[in-house]
Amino acid sequence: MKNQVSLIGYVGLDPEIRKMSNGQKMARLNLATKEVYYNREGERTEHTAWHKVVAWGRHAEIIDRYVRKGRLLGVDGKLAYREYTTPEGEKRRIAEIRVENLQLLDRKEA
């Protein structure tokens, strides 16, 4: 078995870029994928799913330079879970896609 995720979707908001104390960049973004299908009544139905994406190093540099809201991206990576504690003391667990390969699929705007 292999932990592998491949998505093609649109960036929902401008990516969040952080520079770590060791100088390495980290980028976070939300990627929207849309599924279109026909239900039992024959009606066209659309479902949009949002995915949290995290990139480090070279991929974060590319995202910082070229990616903005609305950009079409192809992402290959691994599904990872991260736990954190809110300021109110609640423990939360979220799923993220950790980028291993990134493709800019639409043309860069002038």
Q: What is the pLDDT of residue 108?
A: 59
With beta carbons less than 8 A apart as the criterion, state whether 63 and 15 touch: yes
C-beta neighbour count of 19 within 10 angstroms: 11
| pTM given for the model | 0.84
Residues in the chain: 110
Instruction: Write down the residue that tokens 């799923």 correspond to.
Output: 95
Q: What is the pLDDT of residue 12?
A: 96
* Domains along the chain with CATH numbers: 5-104 (2.40.50.140)
Per-residue pLDDT of the chain (110 residues; tens, 9 = 90+): 899 999 999 999 999 999 999 999 999 999 999 999 999 999 999 999 999 999 999 999 999 999 999 999 999 999 999 999 999 999 999 999 999 999 999 865 54
The values of phi and psi at residue 91, to 5°, are -85, 135
